[in-house]
Amino acid sequence: MQLLKYSIMVLIGSISYGTLSTMMKFGFKDGHSSGDLVGSQYLIGWMIVAVLFLFSFKYKISWKNAGLLAITGMMSAFVGKAYAVAVAELPASIAVVFLFQFTWIGVLIESIINKRRPDRSKVLAICLLFIGTLFAGAIFGQPLSALSLTGVLFGLLSALLFALYMLCNSKFAVQEPSMKRLFFIATGAMLTAVFTTNPVTLATNLIETNLWQFGLLLGTLGVVIPFFFFAVSMPKVGVGLGTILCAAELPSAMVVSVIFLGEGVTPLQWFGMFLIIVGIALPEYLKYVLKKTHTKKRPLHEKRAS
pLDDT in tens, 14-49: 999 888 888 888 888 899 888 888 899 999 999 999
Task: Find all residues with CB under 8 Å of 234, minimum gap 6, and list them.
Answer: 10, 166, 169, 170, 242
- How far apart CA 123 and CA 283 sit, in angstroms, is 9
| 269 class by beta-carbon count within 10 Å (0-12 exposed, 13-18 middle, 19+ buried) | buried
Does this model's pTM top 0.85?
A: no
What pLDDT score does 47 carry? 94
Rounded to 5 degrees, what are φ and ψ at 93? -65, -30
- The Cα–Cα gap between 83 and 256 comes to 19
pLDDT, tens digit, for every residue of 202-236?
999 999 999 999 999 999 999 999 999 998 998 88
- Tell me: pLDDT of 290 over 80: no
pLDDT tens digits for 169-182?
Answer: 989 999 988 888 98
| pLDDT, mean of residues 89-114 | 81
Q: What does the mean pLDDT of the chain come to?
A: 84
The answer on pLDDT for 118 being more than 90 is no
Residue 100 is predicted with a pLDDT of: 81
Q: How confident is the model at residue 142 (pLDDT cuts 50, 70, 90)?
A: low
**Separation between Cα atoms, residue 21 and residue 248, nearest integer Å:** 14
Runs of H (alpha helix) within the chain: 2-18, 20-29, 34-54, 63-89, 92-99, 102-114, 120-136, 149-171, 178-195, 199-208, 211-219, 225-245, 249-261, 267-297, 300-305
Give the pLDDT confidence of 249-259 residue by residue, as tens digits: 888 888 888 88
Can you tell me the distance from the alpha carbon of 241 to that of 77, in angstroms, rounded to the nearest whole number?
22
- At residue 30, the 3 state secondary structure works out as coil
Which pLDDT value is given to residue 269? 84
Query: Is residue 7 pLDDT above 80, yes or no?
Result: yes
Q: Of all residues in the chain, what percent carry a pLDDT higher than 90?
A: 28
Between 123 and 91, the more confident residue is: 123
- pLDDT class for 146, splitting at 50, 70, 90? low
What mean pLDDT do residues 102-124 have? 85
Q: What is the pLDDT of residue 164?
A: 93
pLDDT of res. 21: 81
Mean pLDDT check: name the lowest of 22-26, 47-51, 57-61, 266-270.
57-61
Residue 52 — pLDDT band, cuts 50, 70, 90? confident
Mean pLDDT for 121-142 is: 81
pLDDT band at 82 (very low <50, low <70, confident <90, very high): confident
